[in-house]
Each structure stands twice: as C-alpha cells, then as structure tokens.
Structure 1
C-alpha cells in the first residue's frame, strides 16, 4: 500500500482501468456454464444434481487457486500472473468445445475455473497502486468487473442460439487471448515489485506470508465473503435454471432476467467501496445483512394454498411470489451483496497491509467455495425436497448465522478495547469507530 505522498493517480487509474477490463472478461468466462450448461443438460439428460455440479465445478478451481495466485502475485507481480492466467484459461475454454461426455465436461470445467482466480490477482495488484484513503473506492471499481456475469447472461444466450454453444466457447476463448495481450502491453509492474528490483530486496518468506491465516478474524471475514460473493456466484449460475423451471420461461428470457440480478450485484460494488471509505466497512456490512435477511425471507416462502373456515364456508387463497416481485427482490439482494463484497475487501488492506495477497486469497477462496458448494446444494435440495425456493431458505440461514457472529465479535472486540463503553451505551459506537479504524488487525476475533 502506497503512502499518500507516493500515490500517483494517473498511473494508478491506468492500472485500475485495464485490471477491471481483464477481470470483467475473466468473470464472463467463469460463468459461461450458467448459459451453455442449460444446453448441455438437455443434450446429456442430466439430473438437477448433475447440472448443479457441472455449473459449480469452475467455481471450485477459481476458489482454490485464489490462495496460491495471491501468494504468487505478491512474489512475481500482478502484471505477469494476470497475463499467464488469462492465456491458460483461454486454452481450457477453447478445448471445452470438443468435449463429448459428462465426465470430461467436469474436467474441462476445472480448467475454465482458473478465470475465477483472477480476482485476487487484481486485488493484490491494485492495492499496491493506491493509498489507504482511496483503496476502498479503487477495489470497489475493480470488483465491478463482476458485471462479466451479466455480460454472459445477456450475450451468451443469443450467441448460443445463433452459433451453438461450441462456437460460443471458442468466441470467449478468442476474446480472452486478445485481452491478455492488451493487458500485458499496456500495464506496468506494480510499485512494490519495481521497488524490489531497484533496491535488490527479496520477497517475504512464505511462512510470514501465511502467518495471518491463523487468526480467527480472517476466517470471520471469509464467512462474510462466503455469502456476499459465494452466494452471488451461485445465484448468477442458478437463476437462469430457476426461471426456466419455476416460471416456465425460455432460456433467452431467463438469461435476461438473471442479468438484471447480476448487473447491480456487480456495478454497484464501486459504490460499496466508496461507502466503505466514507461510512466504514462495518456499517456497510450491517446494512447488507439486514436487507438480505428481509429479501431472503420473502424469497424463501414457497407457493402455498390455504383454506380458511369462513362464516359462510371455506375460503381458499394462495400466497405466491409473482415474477415481478421476484425480480425486484433479486435485484435488491444483488445490490446489497455488491456493497458487502466491497466492504469485506476494504477490511483486508487496512488490517493486513503487508499480506493482501495471502489474506485476500484465503477470503476469496472461501467465498468462491460458496459459489461451488451452493449450486450443488441447490440441485440436491431440489431433488430431495422438491421445492424451488429451498435455495433461498438455505441462504437465509447462512446470512442469519453470519450476522450474529459478526455482531457478537464486534461487541466483544469493542468491549475489550474500550472498557468504558458498556451496556446500552455501546450501541452508540456501533457499528463503526472511525478514529482508530484498522487497529483490530491484531485482534483474534
């Protein structure tokens, strides 16, 4: 992280621009199975659980790889790691078009999933260009590259209809190669890497890089990200299937409506970064969890028929979430999740400025694993329970547990640091204490 004196806005903004472009492209590739997977499901006659596993497999690679990619970015720099990552992913995406069996689709999906690891590469790279007062906004702008999921939901259905899913995969691979070359030619090594080359210093030992991962606080941040990012990825992949099955829509209609969810969940991440700088990351997380609980409670309610014994006989009525309300609720959910994603990553360079790659990699890995585990859980619950809204019931429980842990940890932390704040008075100082924000990095909460 740069000091305010060394902060160079023109160079920083150029790095941010091309990193965001590269991440947007990678994210579009990462979620390609949300569209072509529906066609593959029809061709192979897959069950809901098999479909959920196929959609989730790229997320597994993208999640696990984040820890290693974060460490490598700290060692070798984001410019080189980002470029190699995009080229390797493009090969996997192109080879996807020649696959015939379900098992090989899963293998190919592991390679496609490398695109998801691009996030931590960009976070570690961008963090080195900005000072503390601008990092939240910059990382929020970069994180808006999640809009790549909306690009896929908008564009991929029409490409699939016009050219077939195999050609669509080849087009994606070609675009990814072009962006990789453009990124390498137009960006520079980050300031820390340049400083090492000038001063002849060595990289931080691996044990020291991994030391913060022993802190419970880091794992708490990971749980936050499990929902705000993992659930976002899972729903970006699952909603097209949900619309087709629950509301009997065409793939084109389902893709368009799913994009209405993914677009705000991506674009407004920049706003979440600014709000985290302005109001504090904790406060943004409180808003995120509060609104999410309301939305998920309504979305969880299954279509139900009731019969009431009226004065003049039975009175029947139904409770169902209509399409219009469903769309509004998912857009709202996507919006607050975008704020939460930015808020989580605002914490990391403030609390762990010398370990952004490793800590951010772990948080991103756990969050990404949510995107892997949850679609499988959705499919399994559909097969076992037979209720479409069961996926939202699961998310409601996850949010409730996360919210309670977050609030309890904050209350305990502030009670230790400020013993004079007790009882009812403590509510005046929550959820954010601005003057010394960041000192909690040493706390194990």
Structure 2
C-alpha cells in the first residue's frame, strides 16, 4: 500500500489536485494485500466512519423524540404538526443522499466525513436557539428540522466510502456494521435525550430533573461530539485514489434495472426502519399516555422508557442481516425479512383492534385553565379507564412492533449486500474468466454499485417521510384510526415487496439470466 501526499487530477495530467492522506494503491480483492495491510486500514476507517455516521443519525432523528417533549416546555403544536415536523428531516435526508454519494469520489471519503460532521453544527445550533423561546414560530422549527436532514445524507457518503474499502466477500458484514453503528444513533438519541434534558429518568439510575426540561442541552452535547467526529476523521481516516466514479458509470447505475428494483425493496426495509423510528415516540404518546401539562402527573405509558427500543433492535439486527446474506444469499434473507414484516404488522394490527380511542386532549381555554392551576386538575373517569385499558394491551403492541423492527434491520443488511453482488454478477456473466475484460468489468461494477447505493438509499429513505405523515393523515378523524389505516397499507406494501423479491431475484434462472438463485445475491 502506498500513501502519497498528492493525487493527480486525471489520468495523464500529472498535476497534483489534493493533499494529505491519499492512498493510491488499494487492492482489496488481492488476498495477500488484504492480509498484509488492507484489512487493518479498512478496519480503522470503518471504526471512525461508524462514529461519524452514528452522530449523523442522532442529529437526523433529534426531532423524533424532541417533538414529544415540546408541549412540556410550552409549545402548542397539533399532532399533525408534530408528525410533519419529525417527517421533514427524513425527506431532506433522502434528497441529500444522492449528492452525498457522489461527493466521496469527488472529494475523498475522509475529506467528506470531516465536512459532513462540521455541517451538523448548523442544525444543532438552530435547535439550541429555537427550543429556548416558546414564541418561536412553527415554520422556524420546520426549517431547523430540514437542516437536521444533513445527518441523513451522511449515511450515503459513509456507506459509499466503506464499499470501496472492502472486498466483495466481506462487504455484507462491513456495510452491515457501518449501517448498524449509524442506526444505533437513532436508538441512543431516543434513550438519552429525555435524560439529558431532564425530562425523564433511566431505569432508576438517573431521575428526572427537578428544575424542568431544558431541550437545548442535547444540542450542546451533540455539537461537541460533531467536533470530535470531524477531528477523528481528519487525523485517522484516509481517502482512496481508486474511489472514483465517472459520469458514465453513474448513468449506468441509473439505467440499471437493479437500481430501481432495489430502491423499491429498500423503501420497504430501510424506509420502514426510519419511518417507524421517527414516529414511535409520538405513537406511544398519542395512544397510551395522557398528561395535559407538566405540573399534572401523567397516566399511562411514558414513551421515554420504550421509544428507543425499536431503533435499538433494528440496529442490532442489521449486521445480522449482512452476515446471513454473506452465507445464505441476500435475496433469500430479504424475502424472509419481508415475510416476517408481514407477520409483525398483522400482529400490530391485532393489538390496535383492542385499543380504546383516547378522548381528545384539552385545548384552548380548557388547557389555559389547567396551566393556571395544575393542582386543581383531575382526569375524567372515562379517560382513566381508556388509558388503563390501553396500558394493558401495550406489552403486546410493543412486542409486535419490536418484531417488525428486527425484521427491518435484517432486511436492511441483506438488501445492501445484494446491491454490489448484483452488479458484480452482471459483470461476471458478460465477460470470460481470467481476462482483462473481466477485470475491467469488475472494477466498473464496483463503481456502479457505489453510485447505485446512493440512489437506492435516497429513494429508500423516503419511507422515513411517508410513514410519520401516514400516522396522522388529516382525512382521518382520530390518531388510532390513522394508525390502523396506515398499518393496513404497510402490510399490503410488504406483500408486494416480497413478491417482487421472489419473482425477480429468486425465480429459477434462465439462460443468461442476470441473477442466479444460488449466487449468494
């Protein structure tokens, strides 16, 4: 391996373009090279890529849990406004994934990691200012939430970068670990933010703050961590000169049917993970919890103790999906994940049929009266009865939901394994073994698959926007009805995803088929 201090602008130009920590000789498919130096360098870059991506996910999802606490600090936003607020970062993050993918070949993986980590200071600073002033208008929150979508773009650049570092046989596990580290950022922000801001305790180890909720504390913590991520990337990560992607290769990825079929499948796996993670705190609060103002003791299930579990389970099972795909084939594992998601969503629907619609929370003059004298407020018997009945169903609701999260994680890992394998298989079918054409085709396939990763990730992340919006559609009268209708639609969508996976990637191969069922794709 050769680490040089400069990189040429293009073949034959000879003029230096960038400096510092560029690796010119990178041959991950060469077993000798990999054993001697490649594995160590790739592992170091993977570790710090995970750290930076983890923080990106945390900032990306900071509104998923903050939205459920805004009422406690004096903001009077409707449920529809809150669901839209948590959906905005997912939409922006999805749109940014494509340019973030192409940024790695253009600027270098290490360089872009530094920039993308520093860019997260914008949404964290805006968050710190907005949550301290209850007169901040809703549209300002929407703008800040949109900037939080920068963290969603980090996933695409991080996955593209790591895809260049690892050989084909280890991509599934490496990409699974990288993605899982990022996905864990969702779980940790949902677990730790209520504790950091004083809104909740944590399993008896830490108690809720006695002086109220201070949401800005979370912004200070994550701003500092983003600076740390930028520093570690600058000093400990590398750029690969071989990580290039020409416009022709990018267009080839756009023209490939695999790109769009896998994007559709990825909406079902990753889109579901992000959408459910974003919406889970509000789902629990609206259907299982009642607390009109902070001075009144709440009744029911407090989201702060459970909302993080879904993202945690989905994050931990993602590398399992990559590992299984390396051994059993990505298509088989992905199909199994969709079958599990169908079973899980049917289980969620069954629990929803046993819930009681909760009476609407006080608003307007009634809410103002409660705020004026919280000690005089008491819940109506019908509210207590409905909340208690739903609390009895909650363990089954949570169990079914966690089963869905586990399946999305496995599907995420296996689907990402499929993407480079599909392009590699096409190259192998089109060329003869041990030829220059085969070598060149495999190199091009690696670059095309990296471009495809960004496209697929961008389309798939749109699920993170659509799901929260679906849970409180304006044409549905109650949150429970909206939740039930949404899960019916999701179940039907997973059936379609399973059929597409089976028909396209697991049918018996024909002559010259681009995908073979036994090719570990």
TM-score (norm 1): 0.84
Distance change in 2, residues 1:333/1:108 (3 Å): same
Task: Please name the residue that 1:12 is paired with.
Answer: 42
Q: Which digits, 9 at most, give the CA deviation of each residue in 1:375-422, with x for residues without a partner?
A: 112121684464233332222122112112222223567245479xxx
Map of 2:494 onto structure 1: 399
Larger radius of gyration: 2
> What are the within-5 Å matches in structure 2 for residues 37-436 of structure 1?
37-40=67-70, 43-99=74-130, 100-145=136-181, 146-161=183-198, 162=209, 164-190=214-240, 192-193=242-243, 203-248=244-289, 253-301=302-350, 302-304=352-354, 322-352=393-423, 353-380=446-473, 383-384=476-477, 386=479, 387=481, 388-410=483-505, 414-415=509-510, 417=512, 433-434=517-518, 436=519
For 1:415 and 1:18, locate their aligned partners in 2 and report how far apart those are by CA, in whole Å.
43
Task: Name the CA distance, whole Å, in 2 between partners of 1:391 and 1:418.
Answer: 37
**Cα distance in 2 between the residues matched to 1:21 and 1:103:** 31
Q: Do the aligned residues in 2 keep the contact of 1:282 with 1:432 (CA within 8 Å)?
A: no
Farther off after superposition, 34-43 or 127-136? 34-43
Distance 2:464 2:416 in 1: 17
Contact 1:303 1:320 survives alignment (8 Å): no
Conserved 8 A contact 1:227-1:398: yes
Q: Distance in 2 between matches of 1:403 and 1:165?
A: 41
Deviation of 1:74 after TM superposition, in Å, equals: 2.0
The 1:13–1:191 alpha-carbon spacing in structure 2 relative to 1, beyond 3 Å, is farther
Mean CA deviation greater in 398-407 or 140-149: 398-407
**In 1, Cα distance between equivalents of 2:71 and 2:98:** 31
Tell me, which stretches of 5 or more residues in structure 2 are unaligned? 1-26, 131-135, 199-208, 291-297, 356-388, 424-445
Q: Which has the larger displacement, 374-383 or 95-104?
A: 374-383
Cα deviation code 1:84-103 (max 9, x no counterpart)? 01101122211222231110
The answer on whether the counterparts of 1:48 and 1:382 sit within 8 Å (CA) in structure 2 is: no
Tell me, in whole angstroms, the C-alpha distance in 1 between the residues paired with 2:150 and 2:233: 17
Cα RMSD (Å):
2.6
Distance 1:229 1:180 in 2: 26
Q: How many residues align?
A: 405
Is the alpha carbon distance of 1:411 and 1:136 closer, same or farther for their aligned partners in structure 2, counting shifts above 3 Å? closer
Q: Tell me how far 1:184 sits from its aligned partner.
A: 1.7
Distance in 2 separating the partners of 1:414 and 1:293? 27
TM-score by length of 2: 0.73
Structure 1 stretch 184-193 or stretch 145-154: which is displaced more?
A: 184-193
**How far apart in 1 are the matches of 2:137 and 2:87?**
17
Instruction: Tell whether the 8 Å contact from 2:121 to 2:226 is kept in structure 1 after alignment.
Output: yes
Is there any run of 5+ residues in structure 1 with no aligned partner, and where? 194-202, 306-317, 420-430, 439-445
